Amino acid sequence: MMFKFIIVLISVIVVTLPEVTNAQFTESRPYKTEAGPYSLNIQADPSRLSLGTVDYTVIVTHIEDLSPVADAKVLIWGNHALNGQRGWANALNNPVTPAKYTARVQLDGPGVWEMSVEVSSPLGRVAVQVPSQIIPKPRLSQAGSFVFLGVFAVLIGFTAYLTWKINRTMKARNQLNEN
């Protein structure tokens, strides 16, 4: 009987909880532009795991022949639209993919972040605005607290039941020994 009550109680708690797994994710967005001597393919991939983390991939090629620009310095800049907070990250390439530069940018607050990419090499220096990143406010979830309280209540109830059952058994055993 007690077990059924606990199952019903947990079911009621789970059903009445607000949705916990709301996505805090905006879709990956490609952006292509030509600036100065460069053709830039920029991909922004917001993390599914960490709020405010965006992975950038920038493919830098020479505009005339689309040859890779392997010796560029690529910076990703972020500027919070409301409070002016700034952040940046270096994008690095590797010998296997010399035109592909990657960076992980941590945007430290919710709101709209105006993003830009700066590329400089012996060919020249350019800075381009790229699509803004919108970082949502973190969702505060009480589901973990409700689950913890539910499990705690079940453990306390089970402990009380076992104590009562043991005491009842001990009294019955003592009565049999006295007779």
Each residue of 51-69: pLDDT tens digit?
888 999 999 999 899 899 9
- Are residues 97 and 160 both part of a single domain? no
- Are residues 168 and 85 both part of a single domain? no
- Are residues 148 and 113 both part of a single domain? no
- Between the alpha carbon of residue 59 and those of residues 39, 120, 121, 153, the distances in Å are 8, 13, 14, 56
Q: Which domain holds residue 54?
A: 29-135
pLDDT at 49: 80
- Are residues 68 and 96 both part of a single domain? yes
- Are residues 16 and 69 both part of a single domain? no
Each residue of 125-152: pLDDT tens digit?
999 999 988 888 877 777 778 888 889 9
- Are residues 98 and 131 both part of a single domain? yes
DSSP 8-state class, residue 153: H
- Are residues 89 and 166 both part of a single domain? no
Task: Count the domains in the chain.
Answer: 2
- Are residues 94 and 122 both part of a single domain? yes
